[in-house]
Amino acid sequence: MENEENKINEENNNSEVTDTTSKENQTTSDVTDEKNNTNSAEIDKLKEEYDELDDRYKRLFAEFENYKKRSQKERESIYGMITGDVVATMLPIMDNLEKAADAKTDDEKYQEGVRLVARQFREALKSLGLEEIETIGQRFNPEFHEAVSHIEDNTKGEQEIVQEYRKGYKIGNKVVRHSMVIVAN
């Protein structure tokens, strides 16, 4: 009998241990579920923060790229304006050199020297992008030409340029100095 009582007590103890273990397992499971829910919420929060930071980074990077492009265009524009202004101040010098080269003189070597200097000066300005505006035989274009006189000539076309008083120049599409011309019809 005592054996039986011991067995029953043992079974009761085992049952209590099992109940306690199962309660502990249940508690552990609940804690694990809470941790998983907390971890999941933290992960979601971190994902949102990451997405927000990633979006800010992409916007900032795009803004920086646009800034670099805008700065490059401004530099090119400023360079073109400065070059045009410098060349415009030198054009009267080139005009005078060309007049001196065409002037009649008895000293051929002197005249040849002036021609060489005028040609060298013209080439230096060409290296900066200076181009001569075509005039004679062309149709008058107010963007490139300045009409100083008008004549009637039936042998010429309408608004055809027949004579040039002063050469005009441009750098790229920017006119540095308009051509002064006489226009027919």
Chain centre to alpha carbon of residue 16: 80
* Residue 150 domain flag: yes
* Residue 96 domain flag: no
* Residue 142 domain flag: yes
- CA dist 149 → 26, 47, 146, 163 (Å): 106, 76, 9, 10
Tokens representing residue 159 in the block: 């608004």
- The arithmetic mean of pLDDT across residues 24-34, rounded, is 62
pLDDT band at 3 (very low <50, low <70, confident <90, very high): low
pLDDT for the residue 153: 87
* Residue 184 domain flag: yes
* Residue 185 domain flag: yes
Residue with tokens 């941790």: 35
pLDDT for the residue 151: 92
Instruction: Give the CATH number, domain containing residue 160.
Output: 2.30.22.10
* Residue 146 domain flag: yes
Indicate whether 2 pLDDT > 70.
no
Q: For the segment 120-179, what is each residue's pLDDT rounded down to a tens digit?
A: 999 999 999 999 999 999 999 999 999 999 999 888 888 999 999 999 999 988 999 999
Q: For the segment 76-113, what is each residue's pLDDT rounded down to a tens digit?
A: 889 888 999 999 999 999 999 999 999 998 999 999 99
How many domains is the chain built from?
A: 1
* Residue 158 domain flag: yes
**Range name among 33-47, 65-79, 89-103, 112-126 with the lowest pLDDT average:** 33-47
Q: What are phi and psi of 169, to 5 degrees?
A: -140, 155
Give the range of the structural domain holding residue 153, as residue numbers without chain letter: 132-185
Q: Taken in order 168, 169, 172, 175, is the CA torsion positive or negative?
A: negative
* Residue 141 domain flag: yes
User: Residue 134: helix, strand or coil by DSSP?
Assistant: coil
Indicate whether 18 pLDDT > 80.
no
pLDDT for the residue 41: 87
Whether the pTM exceeds 0.75: the reply is no
